[in-house]
A and B are shown apart, each in its own frame.
Chain A
Amino acid sequence: MEISTRKEKDVAVVTVSGRIDAITAPDFEGHLDGLIVQGNKLILINLSGLGYISSAGLRSILSSAKKLKGLSGEIFFTGLQGPVEEVFQISGFQSIFKIFPSEGEALNNF
């Protein structure tokens, strides 16, 4: 798993690639929590390079999203594709999070 983050105006754009599984999920959650602690309220996660996510990864995302929501912030997504999109669909995550077709469209929304 590789994570990179950049700031676009008020939005922290997190690009994650590789795999988010039971081994890597705690690191991913730690990264998101770090952004929350730094005061980021809007986090856009780009999943276009992600090849695999398991329930451990979804648990990390949900846990961070709950924390951020408590601070009136929000996590949203772009770049859903292939098996990652399938997992989002099956779990119902596709309906609880805002999902945008591209980074540009996501950033225009804020």
Chain B
Amino acid sequence: MASLSECARKAGFGEHKIGAIELAAEEAIVNIIKYSYAGAEGTITVICSEDNDKRLHIDIIDSGPPFNPLMKDTPDTASGIDDRAIGGLGIFFIKKMTDDVSYRREGNRNILSITVEKEDREQGTGNREQK
């Protein structure tokens, strides 16, 4: 995790973005340990690279059985303490904290690709002028 933060820092990402990247990576890794390897031993590889367009690409790779974490249901974030399911937030956080996330199966590997932009995208759609 430290080397991932270092990769983001070298690419010029600020502390707030680095926190979001760490969170997304932790959630992805915990998910693999829980569901893809399901308690069995296995290797997880994290590859971090920067492109020419101020974006950081993080691939998180495991060799467990095919498992697409993005197919999980979105949790109900409006329910109260009693009805709130314990768990289910991890993948939701990855989607919320990053700019793009996709899954693919290559050979015997699951690859989760996360993209984070250096600058926050403009929040255009939600903030249109009200007439």
Contact = CB atoms under 8 A, between A and B. Distances in A.
Interface of A: 21-22, 51-52, 54-56, 58-59, 62-63, 65-66, 69, 82-83, 87, 90-92, 95-97
Given A52-B19, A66-B86, A22 B80 contact: no
Interface stretch (B21-29, B45-53, B60-68): B21-29
User: Which applies to chain B's interface (DSSP): helix, strand, loop or mixed?
Assistant: helix
Interface residues of B, number: 23
6 contacts: A21-B26, A52-B22, A59-B86, A59-B87, A59-B89, A92-B79
B96 A90 contact: yes
User: Which applies to chain A's interface (DSSP): helix, strand, loop or mixed?
Assistant: helix
A97 B84 CA distance: 12
B86 A56 contact: no
Interface in B10-31: 16, 19-20, 22-23, 26-27, 30
A55 B80 contact: no
Contact of A62 (B23, B27, B81, B97): B81
A54 B23 contact: yes
Nearest to A19: B22
Nearest to A75: B81
A59 B92 CA distance: 14
Contact of A55 (B19, B22, B81, B90): B90
Contacts of A66: 81-82, 86
